[in-house]
A and B are shown apart, each in its own frame.
Chain A
Amino acid sequence: MIDVRDLRKAYGGVVAVDDVSFSAAAGEVFGIVGPNGAGKTTTLKTIAGLVEPTAGTVRVDGQPADAAETRRRLGFLPEASPLYEEMSPLSYLRFFADLYDVPRDVADERIHDALDRLELDDRHRERAIGDASKGMTRKVAIARSLVNDPDVVVYDEPASGLDPLSTNYIVEFTRELAAEGRTVVFSAHDLHHVEAVCDRVAIMTEGRIVASGPIADLRREYGRTEYHVYTTVEVPDAVAENGRYRRVVEGMDDVREVESAAAARGGEVADIRTVEPSLEGLFLELADPSTSADRPEA
């Protein structure tokens, strides 16, 4: 559905995105993560047709991203929700539905359906948006991205600035959108949620994708499985924890070495736990420019 090839975007002499390629299929949630200034937002805006690529192509269902027909099928949610505060959610959403040539009765049905799903209660629907809380404003912004019943939704930090409850809700909502067959591309700082929602992710830093693929594959390729070995006696490099001693090692040879050390001190290994690498761990590993020289090409 979305195909980004060799995308490059430069602002004057500053390269925001460099040689980025990825694709996302219908029904898939594709996440883009990376530190601030990594090029995530520019990439998403290019998909939304807002930013013209300096080089490379961005196609949505085979059509250029900036084509009117593509925009008609796409829902975009920017990181901030700069709505027209003097309007009510209903009039605001109706206006945008109108711009997408959605008939009034269909628009009203979609708008109420989206607001129901987002649990925006009736009393806030007719009031000025400026009087609403940030969470409610964000929900209106999400509802706006759905008034045209898009095949593709592009969300930039959809839960930005929201409380944990609202964040969870919006993340779940994102999952539902994909379950309905829509292609979802989104960026987020909260890596736990990316991990929970995304089928595949791309990790960006300094405008380039340094790793991409299913999270499990990334773990396998870039992550390191850790073993937390608990002993009854103190061994070198172990830390005391609840009356026992924990040492973190990376291979079975190391485990056996800890076992020997404990036995030599009259103790034994009480427990061994395997800890899979988290996305956060991968992110910290991969997004650090200082480690880029050691890593393979994505």
Chain B
Amino acid sequence: MRPRTVLRIARWETTKGVGGLDRGAVAVVLAAAAFVVAFGVVGLVGGVALEDGIYRVGVDEDSPFHDPVAVDDALAVVEPDPAVVDEGLRPGEGYDLYVESGPERTRLYLVRRDGEPTDKSLAALAAFRESVEAYNERRMRSEDNETAAFPVVVTVEFVERGTDGGADDGGGGPDSDGTGGGGGEGGGGDGQDDDGGLPSTGGGDGGGFGAPSIGAFDLFGTAGTSGSPSAIAPPFPFQSLVLAFLFVLPLNFVIQAYGSSMLSERLDRRGELLLVAPVTPAEIVAGKTLPYAATSLAIAATVVAGLWLIGAGAGPLSVLAVVPLSLLFLALTFLGAMFARSFKELTFVSVTVSTALTTYAFVPAIFTATSPVAFVSPLTVAVRDLTGAGVTPGQFLFATGPPTLVAGVCFLFGLGVYREEDLFTQRPVHLKALDALAGRIRRPRSLALVVALLVPFVFVAELVAVALLFALPVALSIPLVLATVAVIEELAKALPVYAGFVNGRYERTAGVGAAAGAAAGVGFFLAEKLSLLVQVVGLPDVAVADAAFQTGLGSNSLAAVAVLAVAPLLLHVATATVSALGASRDRTAFAASLSLATLLHLVYNLAVVSRLV
């Protein structure tokens, strides 16, 4: 691949894309973007002010309730006029609530219509109560004698979930190293802080995060949660949610533009002339992809820089963590654009890609502070980097390696059909997918290679399944994950074989079917050793993950390890051969044989898990 040619095509793609935009549309998009940014900054830094002064409260300056009302943005102090409450507070007198403070007691007047309090007046009362409680809370915190203010202190610490599906008891979790404050050491003990003081941070996500509170709300869950028990909430994955929004949402816009550009090369045969030029398909695709990859990177860098500016511990690692995710979005969209026959189909494909990848990025990251399962998503690396929790090289590799490999494989398969004969045909999406697989198959050896290339897909799919299912009770999650694994792996082995038969790569005989199945099984077995990567982050410590990947390394028995090393080879060859024999006949036979192979695989999985894991 010649970088100069790639850059030429990238430059052309950029200028062509810009040239295709109407100036008015550009202005509207820029204005909308500016509005979103401005709204976001105001929301993050200054808080949303839609309710400012919405409730008018009559309260005297000497009243002890004056300050709580004055400091609450939603409440507006109105000079009290005792005359208005002589006969009760009525609508239209300039008050929603009236506070009459006497030496012994305080009377609150609600606005009444036909003898009933108005809705707004009741809402003003609720806001007033919250304001007073918050005011008192702040006053208590500012007391020098904290023990007097809070006679009992309970430190809540959320620890990493154990291998049995329950929480560890006692001691801090791996993340409770005190980097975020004082929540770590005292966890699980007597609940009393050593010095009797209040923890400054350490609530929320296990004390692992040290980012400061930002603006009107606590973006990274680092503020203290001391107060009444009702104020203590379980950790909400707010960081993941915010980051998924900040990092993943813009990617959806990028892939729309990218997919549209790739598909428009196919419609009306526009890309034909590029194929005639002395450039390779890889150079064309790289050149056309580069501007969108660069845009994704620029967006990620801007987001990280923005977060850094408002105080989060963001760095280059966060940007690097988003790169594989961007590549995965682009790669799957590219593949979708190669398969789709129209913009309508492309929309369906890109929405599917967007939903699946957002799930992949977001769901595992929910468990950032509690489980190594979180490292299934590259977003976890960004979350930990932004919160200063740190990431080891192994964790980084585990989180970013598989999606990068999957992206590479997607581009590889897409390039297989980036030729005149496939690019401009109007075959259904599923047949195009089979064409992409068959495009790389020439003989049994290349079939094994194609199956091996699918292993990163399998790996990521299984990791996502683990992330989705591990929160369930083990009795339910393990059978479910084993069934899911059996389906994913059998499909990965069988589809390339079937694609080869459908595309006439080899003869439809039982002998050829058996040979193809054996090749597929061996290819899969060799490549699945990639799953040993799970060791890097200690994922087998999670029971459901160990069941899924069946490393057996947690076993003390040498025989068990040996069996686990050889048995999968026999399994994969046997089940792939069963599927291949069906594929060598017709579609119905293939469906039946694939089902049988999946069932065999599931039985094997259950046997292995029950005996060895």
A residues engaging B (CB < 8 A)? Answer: 11-12, 45, 48-52, 68-69, 71-72, 74, 76, 78, 80, 82-84, 86-87, 91, 95-96, 98-101, 128, 144
Residue from A11, A69, A72, A87 with most neighbouring chain B CB atoms (10 Å):
A87
Q: Which residue of B lies closest to A98 (CB)?
A: B8
Give the distance in Å from the alpha carbon of A36 to the alpha carbon of B275 in the complex: 24
B525 to chain A, nearest CB (A): 32
> B421's closest neighbor in chain A, by CB?
A51
Say how far A125's CB is from chain B's closest CB, in angstroms. Answer: 15
**With an 8 A cutoff between CB atoms, is B393 at the interface?**
no
B278 lies within 8 A of A71 (CB): yes
**Pairwise interchain contact A74-B421, C-beta atoms closer than 8 A:** no
Tell me, rounded to whole Å, the shortest Cβ–Cβ distance linking A260 to chain B.
Answer: 62
Check: B507 CB closer than 8 A to any chain A CB: no
CA distance A82 to B424 in the complex (A): 12
Complex Cα spacing A74 to B41, Å:
56
Residue of A nearest to B287 (CB): A99
Partner of A84, one of B270, B276, B419: B270
Closest 7 CB pairs of A and B: A86-B20, A82-B270, A50-B420, A71-B278, A82-B268, A99-B277, A68-B278
Q: For B277, list chain A residues within 8 Å (CB).
A: 71, 96, 99-100
Query: How far apart sit A71 and B283, CA to CA, in the bound complex (Å)?
Result: 15
Are B16 and A86 in contact, with the CB atoms below 8 A? yes
B19 near A: Cβ within 8 Å? Answer: yes
A50 touching B278 by the CB < 8 A rule?
no
Known interface pairs A84-B16, A98-B8; A76-B269 also in contact (CB < 8 Å)? no
Bound CA–CA A134/B272 (angstroms): 19
CA distance in complex: A96, B19 (Å): 17
Given the known inter-chain contacts A11-B421, A99-B277, A100-B277, please indicate yes or no for A91 contacting B269, CB distance below 8 A. Answer: no
Separation of A100 and B5 alpha carbons in the complex (Å): 10
Given A82-B270, A83-B270: A76 in contact with B278 (beta carbons within 8 A): no
Q: Which of A52, A87, A101, A144 contacts B273 (CB 8 A)?
A: A144
Please indicate the chain B residues that have their CB under 8 angstroms from the CB of A51 in the complex. 420-421
Q: Beyond the given A82-B272, A98-B12, could you list 13 further A-B residue pairs with CB under 8 A, ordered by the A residue number?
A: A12-B504, A48-B276, A50-B275, A50-B420, A51-B421, A82-B270, A83-B270, A84-B270, A95-B12, A96-B277, A99-B274, A99-B279, A100-B277
- Name the CB-closest residue of B to A86: B20
Per the bound structure, the CA–CA distance linking A91 and B12 in Å amounts to 9
Query: Which residues of B sit under 8 angstroms from A100, Cβ to Cβ?
Result: 277-278
Contact flags B245-281 to A (C-beta < 8 A → 1, else 0):
0000000000000000000000011101111111110
CA distance A98 to B2 in the complex (A): 13
Q: List 28 A–B pairs whose Cβ atoms lie within 8 Å, in order of A's numbering.
A: A11-B421, A45-B420, A50-B272, A50-B275, A50-B420, A51-B420, A71-B276, A72-B278, A78-B272, A78-B273, A80-B268, A80-B269, A82-B269, A82-B272, A82-B273, A84-B16, A84-B270, A91-B15, A91-B19, A96-B273, A98-B8, A99-B8, A99-B9, A99-B277, A99-B278, A100-B278, A101-B278, A144-B273
Q: List residues of chain B with CB within 8 A of the CB of A52.
A: 419, 421
| B425 to chain A: closest residue by CB | A11
Nearest chain B residue, comparing its CB with the CB of A85: B20
Specify the chain B residue showing the minimal Cβ separation from A67: B278
In the bound complex, residues from chain A placing their C-beta under 8 Å from that of B279 are 99
CB distance from B82 to the nearest CB of A (A): 73
Write the chain A residue with the least CB distance to B275: A50
Counting residue pairs across A and B whose Cβ atoms lie within 8 Å, the total is: 62
In the complex, what distance in Å separates the CA atom of A11 from the CA atom of B427? 13
Q: Which of chain B's residues has its CB closest to A101's CB? A: B278
Contact residues in A for B20 (Cβ distance below 8 Å)? 86
Instruction: Indicate whether A86 sits within 8 Å of B19 (C-beta atoms), given known contacts A11-B421, A51-B421, A68-B278.
Output: yes
Please name all residues of chain A whose beta carbon is closer than 8 Å to the beta carbon of B276 when the two chains form the complex.
48-50, 71, 74, 76
Residues of A within 8 A of B272 (CB): 50, 78, 82
Bound Cα distance from A37 to B604, whole angstroms: 54
**A72 — nearest CB in chain B belongs to which residue?**
B278
Task: Find chain B residues with CB under 8 A from A49 CB.
Answer: 276
Q: With A and B bound together, what is the CA distance between A52 and B281 in angstroms?
A: 14
Separation of A74 and B278 alpha carbons in the complex (Å): 10
Residues on B with C-beta less than 8 A from A101 are 278
Q: Flag if A99 contacts B5 (CB, 8 Å).
A: yes
Q: Give residues 1-46 of B contacting A (CB, 8 Å).
A: 5, 8-9, 12, 15-16, 19-20
Q: How far is the CA of A65 from the CA of B16 in the complex (A)?
A: 30
Alpha-carbon distance between A68 and B5 when the two chains are bound, in angstroms: 13
Chain A minimum-CB-distance residue to B503: A12
CA distance A48 to B503 in the complex (A): 25
Instruction: Name which of A74, A82, A100, A101 has the most chain B CB atoms within 10 A of its CB.
Output: A82
A175–chain B nearest beta-carbon distance, Å: 23
Distance of A21 from chain B, by nearest CB (Å): 22
Q: Chain B residues with Cβ under 8 A from A91's Cβ?
A: 15, 19
Chain B min CB distance to A42 (Å):
10
CA separation between A101 and B277, bound complex, in Å?
10
Q: In the complex, A11 Cα to B419 Cα: how many Å?
A: 14
Chain A: minimal CB distance from B449 (Å) = 20
Chain B, Cβ-Cβ closest to A50: B420
Which among B12, B274, B280, B420 has the highest number of chain A CB atoms within 10 Å?
B12
B residues near A80, Cβ cutoff 8 Å:
268-269
User: Chain A residues with Cβ under 8 A from B269's Cβ?
Assistant: 78, 80, 82
Which residues of B have CB within 8 Å of A11?
421
A52–B275 alpha-carbon span in the complex (Å): 13
Q: CA of A11 to CA of B426 in the docked complex: distance in angstroms? A: 14
Rounded to whole angstroms, the CA-CA distance of A98 and B277 in the bound complex is 10
- A48–B272 Cα distance when bound, in Å, is 11
B208 CB to closest chain A CB (Å) equals 50
A144–B279 alpha-carbon span in the complex (Å): 16
Distance from B441 Cβ to chain A, minimum over Cβ atoms (Å): 15
Q: Which residues of A contact B280 (CB under 8 A)?
A: 68
* Residue numbers in A under 8 Å from B274 (CB-CB): 99
Once bound together, how far apart are the Cα atoms of A72 and B277, in whole Å?
7
Contacts of B12 in A (CB 8 A): 95, 98
Residue in A78, A95, A99 with the greatest tally of chain B CB atoms within 10 Å = A99
Contacts of A96 in B (CB 8 A): 273, 277
Do A87 and B16 touch across chains, with their CB atoms under 8 A apart? Answer: yes
Chain B residues positioned under 8 Å from A84 (CB to CB): 16, 270
Alpha-carbon separation in the docked complex, A68 to B8 (Å): 17
Across the interface, name the chain A residue whose C-beta is closest to B502.
A12
CA distance A95 to B10 in the complex (A): 11
Q: A216 to B20, alpha carbons, bound, how many Å?
A: 51
Q: How far is the CA of A69 from the CA of B279 in the complex (A)?
A: 10
Chain B's nearest CB lies how many Å from the CB of A249? 50
A48 to B278: give the CA distance in the assembly, Å: 11
Q: Is the CB of A87 within 8 A of B5?
A: no
Closest to B276 in A: A76
Chain B nearest Cβ from A271, distance in angstroms: 53
Once bound together, how far apart are the Cα atoms of A119 and B273, in whole Å? 23
CB distance from B531 to the nearest CB of A (A): 37
B296-331: CB near A (< 8 Å → 1, else 0) gives: 000000000000000000000000000000000000
From B19, B420, B421, contact of A87 by CB (8 A): B19
Residues from chain A with a CB closer than 8 A to the CB of B5 are 99
Chain A residues within an 8 Å CB radius of B275: 50
Chain B residues, CB < 8 A from A69: 278
A12 to B434 alpha-carbon distance, docked (Å): 14
Among A50, A52, A69: residue with most chain B CB under 10 A: A50
Q: In the complex, what residue of chain A is closest to B420 when comparing beta carbons? A: A50
